[in-house]
């Protein structure tokens, strides 16, 4: 069964963040970065999203929005790891590219795009859902 962020009656579809999902986000393969390392980044990204939102999240069974946020942040951690950069929360450095949550200095679209998505998703996850189920 596919993972969708939809609810049909009492049926809610959940998503899972896996190493393959993270690598696919930034066009990497298992030979580029091992599952064990990507899993550590998933766990770190999940912890960061929980810290930022105040939510309790299980990356193995979460909403699509939570999974997207964790996936994007873990993908940034992978890119940083592979390029010898550094990360701190949602700020990162990749070679000469430095993107900070506050300044948003952007020179390369892909990492900056992921970072902006992470920040946007975190902000949306912080707000309680008031719609009908």
Buried b (16+ CB within 10 A) or exposed e, 52-89: bbeeebebeebbeebbbbbbbbbbbbbbbbeeebebee
pLDDT tens per residue, range 31-76:
999 999 999 999 999 999 998 889 999 999 999 999 999 999 999 8
Q: Which residue has the higher pLDDT, 65 or 4?
A: 65
Does residue 6 lie within any of the structural domains? no
Question: Which of 107 and 39 is assigned the larger pLDDT?
Answer: 39
Evaluate whether residue 118 is within a structural domain: yes
Residue 94 in domain: yes
Residue 9 has pLDDT above 60, yes or no: no
Residue 84: pLDDT band (50, 70, 90) is: confident
**Looking at the domain assignment, is residue 131 inside a domain?**
no
Kindly give the residue spans of alpha helices, DSSP state H, lying in the chain: 19-25, 35-53, 64-83, 109-126
Residue at 5 is within a domain:
no
| pLDDT tier, 15 (very low <50, low <70, confident <90, very high otherwise) | very high
Residue 3 lies in a domain: no
pLDDT at 128 (0 to 100): 65
The predicted structure's pLDDT at residue 61: 95
- Residue 107 covered by a domain: yes
| Mean pLDDT across 86-111 | 51
Q: Which two tokens stand for residue 12?
A: 């809610």
Q: Tell me which of 74 and 126 has the higher pLDDT.
A: 74
Domain that holds residue 122: 12-126
Determine the Cα–Cα distance for residues 117 and 59; give it in Å rounded to an integer.
18
The number of distinct structural domains making up the chain is 1
Q: What is the pLDDT of residue 17?
A: 97
For residue 4, being part of any structural domain is answered with no
Has residue 5 got a pLDDT over 60? no
Counting residues of the chain whose pLDDT is more than 70, the rounded percentage is: 65
- pLDDT of 34 reads 96
């Amino acid at each position: 069964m596919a993972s969708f962020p939809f609810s049909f009656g009492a049926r809610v579809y959940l998503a899972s963040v896996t190493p393959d999902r993270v690598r696919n986000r930034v066009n990497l393969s298992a030979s580029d970065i091992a599952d064990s390392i990507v899993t550590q980044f998933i766990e770190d990204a999940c912890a960061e999203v929980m810290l930022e939102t105040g939510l309790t999240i299980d990356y193995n069974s979460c909403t699509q929005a939570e999974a997207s946020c964790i996936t994007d942040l873990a993908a940034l951690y992978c890119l940083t790891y592979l390029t010898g950069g550094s990360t701190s929360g949602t700020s990162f450095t990749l070679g000469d590219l430095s993107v900070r949550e506050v300044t948003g200095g952007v020179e390369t679209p892909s990492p900056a795009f992921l970072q902006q998505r992470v920040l946007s998703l975190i902000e949306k996850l912080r707000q309680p859902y008031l719609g009908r189920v």
